[in-house]
Chains A and B, each alone.
Chain A
Amino acid sequence: MTRIDNNAVSVRGLVKHYGDTKALDGVDLDVRQGTVMGVLGPNGAGKTTLVRILSTLLRPDAGEATVAGYDVLRQPRRLRRVIGLTGQYASVDEKLPGWENLYMIGRLLDLSRKDARARADQLLERFSLTEAARRPASTYSGGMRRRLDLAASMIGRPQVLFLDEPTTGLDPRTRNEVWGEVKAMVGEGVTVLLTTQYMEEAEQLASELTVVDRGKVIANGRVEELKAKVGGRTLRVRPVDPLQVRPFAALIDELGITGLAGTTVDGENGTLLVPILSDEQLTAVVGAVTARGITISSITTELPSLDEVFLSLTGHRASAPQDAVPADDRQEVAV
């Protein structure tokens, strides 16, 4: 990659309206060659709209964007030759076997029959799908489908890869698997723009982060910088007796250790999430556990939730209109 001075993705003043809704309201963004840019934001922040414009599926109302030096409006076909796209929903043909999916895309990318065959074999092998090669994709598990999707995006050896919420809806084990694959692709020098709702995913994969909210960029910088700026962490406490979770939550609230977003009960896992802003608060929580004589099986510190990130950066929650929603209903947003 000799084009060091040029950004792999460059976005200036991008605007997209849907009626009265401003999906994108003047977004600027630069992704340096060979890096992973995470675009972090809640549902409806405009992440998918951004990816769809950059992959030429959608025309912007105003602003400019180039990918690998190609203009999204003036050179869409050249641009399409150097990108890979994995959408929020698996974009493979479910009725076709995995191998046929990859062969078809190879042919659509102008590979010869021989090369398309070889590339399909090679990518199935690389994404551990060789055994399922002849089965229709509809019989694949969620993780396999996502891997096939990634393989399909890699056929044309893209310079820039767009991953739109690549692990949404996957269980933690499969999510780790997908993360591993993405890291491997980055190791091969691909520039990645990834959208996510999870701080954890952003930290795992991205070197730089852009936080978006209601169509606007509200913060950007290196992941460590943003983490330092947010400051908080989340403490996950698991009492041995799940029935202790709620009384414990009440106790923590009483003590006033609520970080910015407030405590959250994760009923499904029988844990309590306590946002903390300092080591003193961490100590206070541990003190409360001891004082109450609650037996706990684990206590871990995690990255701040999207809510914490948003509260510290903007002063409002990620899901602003739903402020009134009780803590338990916000599970999928937290952590």
Chain B
Amino acid sequence: MTATATAPVPMADTPISVRAHLRHTGALVRRNLLWIRQDPESMFDAILFPVIFTLLFVYVFGGSIGKSLGGGQQAYVQYVVPGLMAMMGMNMAQGVGTGFNTDFNSGVMDRFRSLPIGRGSVLFAKIAVELMRMLFATAVLMVVAVLVGFDITHWSGLLASVGLSAVFGSALMWVFLTLGVVMKSAQSVQAMGFLVLMPLQFGSSIFAPTNSMPGWLRAFTDYNPLSALADTARGLMLGGPVTHSLWITLAWSVGLTAVAAPYAIYKFRTKS
């Protein structure tokens, strides 16, 4: 050990290279994927959620809302499927916070934090795996959607919508990761998530057009990023104006990520 023969000069830490970051994140992604293999039931929500929501909304509300859209149940399928896709990221994101909170309180986190890795790697890996789960859920959704008669006009639009949902979904995941790091118990993260998500989900254009809603509610729904995402997905897949809602969605995504991601990493680094 000749390197230690001279007393080390107290030089500051050098930054971790991008390659090392990727390697660390990769090792942690593998960990999260192995969890799924160990416990396949953890994928149930990603499968059941799109199936149940699609069937529920199409067959329970489809007829009546479809009528007001100037069609029938089929018109509602066309309306609600892009909305459900927008919702997917949000539902996956909620699970990130709860899961991470449990993980954070386990002893293995101490080990990670005592290793010479960028501490953001632990969070990046979590987001990467949840995005995979979200894409899987979206694939299930599209299969069910086609089975109930969804007709995609623009296939390239479908891909663009999936990409946009992933961008917005990962922004929400950072928000929930922050909650997961900051809050004391998994239960409180879940309760908090539910409180935030319920109004956002239903006070939006996901399930029904907003033009019949009272003015005060419309003021909320029109600024709700989920409305913007749902409207963009509709426009992209079925044709129609997208520019305005696309910008709103991107602005929300960038804004949330820019605030939540550094804060989550900071909190994760300094939490003892």
Contact = CB atoms under 8 A, between A and B. Distances in A.
B272 A95 contact: no
Interface in B1-45: 1-2, 4-5, 7-8, 10-14, 16, 20, 23-24, 26-28, 30-31, 34-35, 38-39
Interface residues of B, number: 38
Contacts of A12: none
Given A2-B2, A3-B1, A85-B111, 16 more contacts: A1-B4, A2-B4, A56-B114, A76-B13, A81-B116, A87-B107, A87-B110, A91-B108, A93-B106, A95-B34, A96-B38, A100-B34, A104-B30, A108-B27, A108-B112, A109-B115
A95 B38 contact: yes
Contact of B4 (A68, A74, A104, A105): A68
A69 B5 CA distance: 11
Contacts of A87: 107, 110-111
Contacts of B2: 2
A269 B94 CA distance: 51
A57 to B, nearest CB: 6
27 contacts: A1-B4, A3-B5, A69-B4, A69-B7, A69-B8, A75-B12, A77-B13, A78-B13, A80-B114, A81-B116, A83-B114, A91-B107, A91-B108, A91-B109, A92-B107, A92-B108, A93-B106, A93-B108, A96-B34, A100-B30, A100-B31, A105-B115, A107-B27, A109-B115, A110-B20, A110-B23, A152-B111
Contacts of B35: 95-96
Interface of B: 1-2, 4-5, 7-8, 10-14, 16, 20, 23-24, 26-28, 30-31, 34-35, 38-39, 106-117, 270, 272
B28 A89 contact: no
Nearest to A69: B8
Contact of A57 (B16, B24, B110): B110
Contacts of B14: 77
B24 A91 contact: no
B23 A75 contact: no
Given A68-B4, A75-B13, A105 B111 contact: yes
Interface residues of A, number: 43
A59 B272 CA distance: 9
A87 B112 CA distance: 12
Contact of A104 (B7, B12, B28): B28
Contacts of B7: 3, 6, 69
A140 to B, nearest CB: 14
Given A75-B11, A94-B106, A3 B4 contact: yes
Interface in A100-133: 100, 104-105, 107-110
Of A71, A76, A104, chain B has the most CB atoms within 10 Å of the CB of: A104
A6 B28 CA distance: 36
Interface in A49-73: 52, 55-59, 68-71
Contact of A74 (B12, B39, B109): B12
A136 interface: yes
Contacts of A97: 34
Contacts of B114: 55-57, 80, 83, 85
A313 interface: no
A57 B38 CA distance: 29
B39 to A, nearest CB: 7
B107 A2 contact: no
A31 to B, nearest CB: 15
Contacts of A110: 20, 23
Contact of A91 (B1, B28, B110): B110
A90 interface: yes
A261 to B, nearest CB: 33
A76 B108 CA distance: 19
A24 B74 CA distance: 69
A108 B30 contact: no
Contacts of A69: 4, 7-8
A327 B20 CA distance: 56
**Nearest 5 CB-CB pairings of A with B:** A107-B27, A91-B107, A80-B116, A91-B111, A77-B13
A81 B115 CA distance: 7
A173 B256 CA distance: 54
A57 B8 contact: no
A89 B105 CA distance: 11
Contacts of A107: 23-24, 26-27, 30
B8 A80 contact: no
B116 A77 contact: yes
Nearest to A53: B272
A220 B31 CA distance: 43
B210 to A, nearest CB: 44
